[in-house]
Amino acid sequence: MSKKHRRIVRELAETTLMTVVVFIFLVTFVVQGFKVYGSCMEPNLFTGERLLGNKFVYRFEKPSRGDIIVFRFPPDPHKIFIKRIVALPGETVEIRQGKVYINGKPMHEPYMRKVAHGDFPPQKVPKGNVFVLGDNRDASNDSRFWGDLPIKNIQAKAWLRYWPMARMTVFNSPWR
């Protein structure tokens, strides 16, 4: 093999190795794939859809209202849930006739497409926790039933729906 061919092979090997290392870093520390199960986030997320979650973002910023998050279910940490953050530490959350109130003011929820029902008495979210709800409130097992979510349970912020391709979406909080 000539010097030129050896150089090309070496550059190709180095590039391939670096690509693998970067990919492993990204998958290990930055992004992770998740599959949606259940109807609690319909019509925004459906069973079988696939998401990429950003595992790194909350190292640099705090969770925000409106973020769709993937987390370990507090009563059974082996289960992974997907919900939306509606109240932050120190805020008082209340639900009256399906409408969410934060610190006594009605919350604007542009992502809600189904009318929700039910009530939830005023409750202050403790430090280090958030209050999460599904977008399909009438079919969601969320903070109303098992309590506030410890921020340490959050695994990732939903970043990209990549399957099905026809519904590919980059998620942003409605407030950012």
For the chain, percent of residues with pLDDT exceeding 90: 65
Which positions ≥6 away from 92 have C-beta within 8 Å?
Answer: 102, 103, 104, 122, 123, 124, 125
Range scoring the smallest mean pLDDT among 5-9, 29-33, 35-39, 90-94: 29-33
pTM value > 0.85: no
Place of tokens 């459906």: 46
Which positions ≥6 away from 43 have C-beta within 8 Å?
Answer: 113, 114, 135, 136
Question: How do residues 97-111 score in pLDDT, each as one tens digit?
Answer: 999 999 999 999 998
Q: Compute the average pLDDT of residues 129-153.
A: 96
Q: How confident is the model at residue 176 (pLDDT cuts 50, 70, 90)?
A: very low
Which positions ≥6 away from 48 have C-beta within 8 Å?
Answer: 35, 36
pLDDT at 173 over 80: no
Number of C-alpha atoms within 13 angstroms, CB side, residue 45? Answer: 30
